[in-house]
């Protein structure tokens, strides 16, 4: 077989293949011979059908099958001979056909990975703000601990419910004047001000005292998941059963001892600060990574095969569906906003970072993986042998990719200028928790 390749663009090539008549004739003869042994023709026993009749009856079918087989073999030969990194199925503008005594010739276009021979790294620059755990964030987390260790008692004298109180209620739900079975509740404890219940209901409960009853109307949106409530205004008939006010413990050494292995309030605050800072640092590393990727992509424009973008879009949709299912949500159209651009950036980043690793001999060997496994064993308290068993196959591949990514990012940090800006935005404990949750979701 003979083949030649010409570049149409950095991501598409034209492949011309010629299969000599000798090979075509040989494959035809073999196919007809094989078919003659099994062909069923009225008036002839199997294997006794004359070859000429086999060709007459099945010639078109055999030629089509041989053509398809030779096209596939020819394309494989061309891909291997020219070391093409194909990313899609070949496209044949015209269907080839066999002509007696003539070579089988055909042309195909194929999408390929762009060949990146060099990368521009000079002048890489990103702006960055190092987040710091603020006193406000520490105080906010300390307040959470005080709430967790709070006592509850009835107000004396009794008063109306307010934020911070725990109110116990019975309630029924009516829609269009009809009580809905299964929607009510008895002895339901609600912590007012913690956004644990419907806003309208919490607002209605404020000011209530034990044995008081009240009707509260709550409108529901047209897209509410419960069909009965969708677009309706429901009436909640509330009965206050009990009311307790929250008594917060003092922020002192005793609280520190109750909260963990701490002797003083100062030790507890420092532990809280360290925890918040650790989470902020993890977010910080993620932000720096994305900025470095944006910087190198801006300096190295490359074409991306459309088939790779399409495949990446499908992966993103799958990931979002898995994420939504994990949190009991449904995928809405807003989740698909900007999907093509996100898919293209991910593909472009993969190609550029892969080329960066190749051009600079950035690799991960077995020693590096073993060292990481030993570190995992030490942190988790597991025996190293058990950790090695857990990180086999695909999971080990994922670990190698993670280690390579770290190596690539370390290399980029050395090449880039990172401008540290002033006046970092304030970080609350709630924000750092939300960031930590997102990082955990990404790692999963």
Distant-in-sequence, close-in-space partners of 128: CB < 8 Å, separation ≥ 6? 287, 288, 291, 418, 419, 420, 421
Cα-based distances in Å from 26 to 49, 72, 196:
20, 16, 78
Rounded (5°) CA angle 11-14-17? 145
213 contacts 171 by C-beta, under 8 angstroms: no
pTM reported for the whole predicted model: 0.73
Q: Angle, to 10 degrees, between the axis of helix 394-415 and the axis of helix 339-359?
A: 80
- For residue 317, the Cα-to-chain-centroid distance in whole angstroms is 9
pLDDT for 444 equals: 38
> What does each C-alpha distance from 278 to 101, 130, 260, 262, 282 come to in angstroms?
75, 12, 19, 19, 6
CA distance 366 to 378: 18
Mean pLDDT (10-residue bins), the chain, 444 residues: 92 95 91 74 64 72 90 94 92 90 94 93 91 94 93 95 95 94 93 86 94 95 90 96 96 92 94 95 93 95 93 91 80 82 94 95 95 94 95 94 95 92 53 48 39
Query: 3-state DSSP call for residue 77?
Result: helix
Q: CA–CA distance from 324 to each of 286, 318, 320, 329, 335 (Å)?
A: 22, 10, 6, 5, 10
β pairing state of 185-191 and 166-175:
antiparallel
Per-residue pLDDT tens over the stretch 205-258: 999 999 999 999 999 999 888 899 999 999 999 999 999 999 999 999 999 999
Hey, what domains does the chain have and what are their CATH numbers?
2-111 (3.30.70.1050), 151-247 (3.10.50.40), 261-443 (1.10.3120)
Q: Distance between CA 288 and CA 299 in Å, rounded?
A: 17
């Amino acid at each position: 077989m003979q083949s030649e390749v010409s570049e149409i663009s950095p991501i598409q090539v034209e492949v011309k293949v010629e299969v000599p008549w000798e090979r075509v004739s040989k494959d035809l003869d073999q196919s007809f011979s094989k078919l003659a042994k099994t062909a069923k023709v009225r008036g002839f026993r199997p294997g006794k059908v004359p070859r000429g009749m086999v060709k007459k009856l099945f010639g078109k079918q055999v030629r089509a099958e041989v053509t398809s087989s030779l096209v596939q073999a020819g394309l494989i030969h061309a891909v291997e001979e020219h070391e093409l990194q194909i990313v899609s199925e070949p496209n044949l503008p015209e269907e080839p056909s066999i002509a007696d005594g003539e070579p089988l010739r055909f042309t195909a276009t194929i999408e390929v990975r762009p060949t990146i021979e060099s990368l521009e790294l000079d002048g890489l620059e990103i702006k960055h703000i190092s987040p710091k755990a603020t006193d406000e964030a520490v105080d906010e987390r300390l307040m959470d601990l005080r709430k967790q260790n709070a006592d509850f008692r009835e107000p004396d004298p009794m008063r109306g419910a307010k934020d911070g109180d725990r109110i116990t209620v019975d309630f029924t739900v009516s829609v269009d004047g009809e009580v809905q079975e299964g929607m009510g509740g008895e002895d339901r404890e609600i912590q007012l001000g913690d956004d644990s219940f419907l806003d309208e209901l919490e607002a209605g409960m404020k000011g209530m005292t034990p044995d008081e009853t009240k009707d509260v109307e709550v409108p529901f949106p047209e897209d509410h998941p419960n069909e009965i409530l969708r677009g309706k205004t429901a009436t909640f008939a509330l009965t206050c059963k009990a009311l307790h006010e929250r008594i917060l413990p003092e922020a002192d050494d005793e609280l520190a001892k109750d909260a963990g292995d701490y002797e003083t309030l100062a030790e507890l605050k420092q532990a809280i600060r360290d925890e918040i800072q650790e989470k902020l640092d993890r977010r910080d590393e993620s932000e720096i990574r994305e900025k470095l990727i944006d910087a190198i992509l801006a300096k190295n424009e490359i074409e991306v095969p459309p088939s790779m973008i399409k495949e990446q879009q499908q992966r993103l949709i799958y990931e979002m569906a898995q994420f939504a299912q994990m949190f009991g949500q449904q995928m809405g159209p807003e989740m698909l906003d900007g999907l093509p651009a996100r898919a293209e950036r991910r593909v472009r980043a993969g190609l550029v970072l892969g080329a960066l690793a190749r051009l600079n001999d950035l690799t991960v060997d077995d020693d590096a993986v073993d060292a990481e496994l030993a570190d995992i064993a030490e942190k988790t308290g597991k025996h190293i042998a058990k950790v090695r068993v857990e990180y086999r196959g695909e999971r080990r591949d994922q670990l190698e990719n993670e280690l390579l990514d770290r190596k690539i990012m370390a290399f980029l940090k050395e090449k880039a200028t990172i401008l540290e800006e002033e006046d970092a935005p304030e970080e609350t404990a709630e924000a750092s928790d939300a960031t930590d949750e997102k990082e955990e979701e990404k790692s999963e």
